[in-house]
Structure 1
Amino acid sequence: MKGGDVYDCIDVNAQPSLNHPKLKDHKIQMQPSSFPIWLDTESEFPHSWWEVQPYTIDCPIGTVPVLCNNRSGNIIAHNIDGVSSIGLQTETEAAGIRYYDDVYGARAIINVYEPRVNKDSKDLSAAWVQINNGKGEHTDTIGAGLEVNPSFSGDTFVRFHISWTDGLDKKSCLDHSCPGFVQVDHKSGLGARLQHVSVYGGRQFAMTLSIFKDEKSGNWWVAYGKNNTPFGYWPSALFSFLNYKGHFVFWGGFVQGPTVSSNAPQMGSGHFASEGYGKAAYIRNAQILNENNKYVTPEDNVKLDHGTSNSTLYTVDKFEAHTPGMTIYYGGPGLV
């Protein structure tokens, strides 16, 4: 692949994810039993943008692409509250939208940028959608989005990733670093670079992402693109607290790692949110999935919060909530 990435095309029924002890005799679900309902109101966004997706990988039908050069080992827990459930010394800063209530999925359109992260650090910078359920260290999390993570990928390119945390085992996983996430898409791979990246003051690219619970199987699916292409899923059997529903959603950016307080990486475009479209990164059309399998915009302001954990490094601005979902601009230069 471009940039030297190497993928193996592995039989879908022999992918490493199925080695998880909780997935013994698991029968792969190749398609969601149904898709959530949402309103397509693109005309309400006044700016031009181009949809982007990971590079296409030509694996045969019946196989899935698995990146060979991903690093495994100690994976930092992708937790925007900064709780590392695997004992690593990490620090976290986050900027975006939080919503606290029963949820069965979340979706958003994520503006694609490539924030600067020190290649020699173990820090990362992500644009993310995350769903949690649990309490304290015993919290199950699932998430998907875009991130620059040099210690995992070995470079500073923005890539498509998923992550999850088992609240009981206190184990955090990224992509195929440990078994569990079942992939079905044969044209895209975890850890893949994006086809295009937005340019400050220039052309803007964005990626549509959704996470939703299958009404029949109970599995948590990840889909991408305007056509809602199913990528794969977390089997509900993996979780103790997320096996039925989530109680918290986050949309936005976060940075995480051992040197965030002293050498914080960029978030979003690397510019403050007040600069607006074309210069600051955005999340838009952010919605939750309700118990009726319908995407809706949260209306209860008591359960909704938007802000930043460190306004000197990262800001949020221009928050709006309307029919096609919530919009927010976020990000900043950090200390790089």
Structure 2
Amino acid sequence: MFIGRNTEEACFCFNYRRRQDEANVEKENTKNRIRKNKNKKIETETDLSGRTQVHTSMDFRFNFQILPIISSFVFFLLFCSTVFPAMSAAQFEDFRRMNQTFRPGEESKKMRLIRTHLMKINKPSVKTIQSPDGDVMDCVLVHHQPAFDHPVLKGTKPLDPPERPNGYNHAGMESENYQLWSLSGEYCPEGTIPIRRTTERDILRANSIQRFGRKIPKPVRRDSSSGGHEHAVGYVSGEEYYGAKASINVWDPKVTDRFEFSLSQMWVISGSFGDDLNTIEAGWQVSPELYGDNYPRFFTYWTTDAYQATGCYNLLCSGFVQTNNKIAIGAAISPTSSYNGGQFDISLLIWKDPKHGNWWLEFGSGVLVGYWPASLFTHLRDHASMVQFGGEVVNSQASGSHTSTEMGSGHFSGEGFGKASYFRNMQVVDWDNSLIPLSNLKVLADNPNCYDIRGGINNVWGNYIYYGGPGKNPRCP
């Protein structure tokens, strides 16, 4: 018993001392951990792609020397995780140019807004066609196109084509399609329409997401040059107009600044030249900002408030209803005219359907593209009060002098056929839905030393104009 008790006490004492020693060690370890933790803190943050990153930053006594290095490293990691997964090198260059002052939070928000906007305008497709010029055409179901996102059009269906205006005869003429993407021999299936796919790079080139696909609001008087926009146009006014038709000579003018453009088009206009201006526009344009290249492209436009908040190019907003599966609005046109060589033009017809009041568009010979619903407009619900034909450029004066961006062929009107750009067979549609020659055609050039215009009439071309110019030259410094 005594031996057993001593053994038990000895064991107890041993265990007690062992537990005490272990407790002392644990206390010391705890103190060491506390001392270490006082000198650092763990911060977690979630990056824009949803990943959680852990960064260790020393307290003031330690980071006084290395904080700048760590801060730079964290900034670099955040930059990489935010930008590079979503952008190629070319995209990043556009991104860098448009955002000289880098603010990670703001720019990440911008990229999210861009992707949201792309989801809105790039509709699901049933087929995809690759164009030789790099464009991607998505074949979208007709009732899924952007037009039907418009509150007035939501839930409606495309209308059947109306009759052409009286006096329009395209019998014996082939239905041509002069667009690069069609060279592949592929078209969108019946019941779908081709829509040029918009990319992140397209939107990054714009001044803002809100202004992407829109003209910059500007005064649109034709008696002066304003807002950097210069025109050379022929026009008629003073009567009620229900449409217009012309054949437009196609060139590939040089555009010298990414924020400038050169276009040739028809304008169907109503309202005053104030905030209530209504326009319907169609033609061809070279716009590096909008398309990222220098191809001349078939385009449309509309506005009901002088380009302020309504309307857009092509199908980049809801409005225009496309009905054709072989024409892509915004696609490159081929072939083009050459100086002192072959000449090429496209025929465009815009007219108001007497039955439903919508404004229809025909491209080429007998190919209906679609229509602008009358419900989009105010003044144009009734008729147009002016029709214009001609060219327009943006003169940004980026170099401090007049731009060298060309209008038309880049040559003055006096050089004539094969050298200067032209409109021919210019007509308007009257109240009786009949095509008639122009009466009292007037011509106007905002800056005739840079771009000029002259009109005429003959038995072959009917009413016609020559117009254009090189921009900067000895008479246009």
Do structure 1's residue 271 and structure 2's residue 396 form an aligned pair? no
Which of residues 335, 353, 359 in structure 2 aligns to 1:196? 335
- In 2, Cα distance between equivalents of 1:39 and 1:132: 22
State the one-letter code of the partner of 1:163: Y
State the one-letter code of the partner of 1:197: T
Do structure 1's residue 123 and structure 2's residue 123 form an aligned pair? no
- In 2, Cα distance between equivalents of 1:93 and 1:208: 24
Which residue does the alignment assign to 1:141? 279
- In 1, Cα distance between equivalents of 2:325 and 2:296: 21
Do structure 1's residue 214 and structure 2's residue 353 form an aligned pair? yes
Which of residues 123, 126, 150 in structure 2 aligns to 1:20? 150
The 5 Å alignment of 1:1-336 reads 1-29=131-159, 31-38=160-167, 53-55=178-180, 56=182, 58-69=187-198, 71=202, 73=209, 74=211, 75-77=214-216, 81=220, 90-100=227-237, 101-118=239-256, 120-135=257-272, 136-167=274-305, 170-226=309-365, 228-256=366-394, 258-259=396-397, 262-299=402-439, 301=440, 304-320=441-457, 325-335=462-472
Task: Determine if contact 1:33/1:214 at 8 Å carries over to the other structure.
Answer: yes
Deviation string, structure 1 residues 82-122 (Cα, Å, up to 9, x no partner): 69xxxxx942111121111210000000011011102x431
TM-score normalized with structure 1 length: 0.87
Task: Determine if contact 1:149/1:155 at 8 Å carries over to the other structure.
Answer: yes
Task: Determine if contact 1:106/1:211 at 8 Å carries over to the other structure.
Answer: yes
State the one-letter code of the partner of 1:17: A
- In 2, Cα distance between equivalents of 1:40 and 1:114: 29
Q: Secondary structure of 1:23's match?
A: coil
TM-score normalized with structure 2 length: 0.62
- In 2, Cα distance between equivalents of 1:156 and 1:77: 20
Q: Any stretches of 5+ residues in structure 2 without a counterpart?
A: 1-130, 204-208
Q: Secondary structure of 2:255's match?
A: coil
Q: Which of the two has greater strand per residue?
A: 1
How many correspondences in the alignment? 317
State the one-letter code of the partner of 1:113: W
Q: Secondary structure of 1:17's match?
A: helix
The Cα shift of 1:320 comes to: 2.1
- Alpha carbons of structure 1 residues 108 and 233: separation in structure 2 relative to 1, 3 Å: same
Q: Secondary structure of 1:21's match?
A: coil
Q: Secondary structure of 1:286's match?
A: strand
The Cα shift of 1:148 comes to: 0.3
Q: Which of the two has greater helix per residue?
A: 2
Percent identity, aligned pairs only, is 35
The Cα shift of 1:319 comes to: 2.1
- In 1, Cα distance between equivalents of 2:177 and 2:447: 30
Deviates more, 1:161-170 or 1:310-319: 161-170
Q: Any stretches of 5+ residues in structure 1 without a counterpart?
A: 43-50, 84-88
State the one-letter code of the partner of 1:276: G
- In 2, Cα distance between equivalents of 1:333 and 1:188: 31
Task: Determine if contact 2:278/2:304 at 8 Å carries over to the other structure.
Answer: yes
The Cα shift of 1:324 comes to: 6.0
Task: Determine if contact 1:95/1:307 at 8 Å carries over to the other structure.
Answer: yes
- Alpha carbons of structure 1 residues 231 and 52: separation in structure 2 relative to 1, 3 Å: closer
- In 2, Cα distance between equivalents of 1:80 and 1:37: 35
Q: Secondary structure of 1:187's match?
A: coil
Deviation string, structure 1 residues 219-242 (Cα, Å, up to 9, x no partner): 10110112x210011000101111
Deviation string, structure 1 residues 138-191 (Cα, Å, up to 9, x no partner): 111110000001110011110000001122874241111211011111011111
Task: Determine if contact 2:192/2:325 at 8 Å carries over to the other structure.
Answer: yes
Deviates more, 1:320-329 or 1:122-131: 320-329
- Alpha carbons of structure 1 residues 32 and 117: separation in structure 2 relative to 1, 3 Å: same
Q: CA RMSD in A?
A: 2.5
- In 2, Cα distance between equivalents of 1:82 and 1:9: 39
Q: Secondary structure of 1:10's match?
A: strand
Structure number, greater radius of gyration: 2
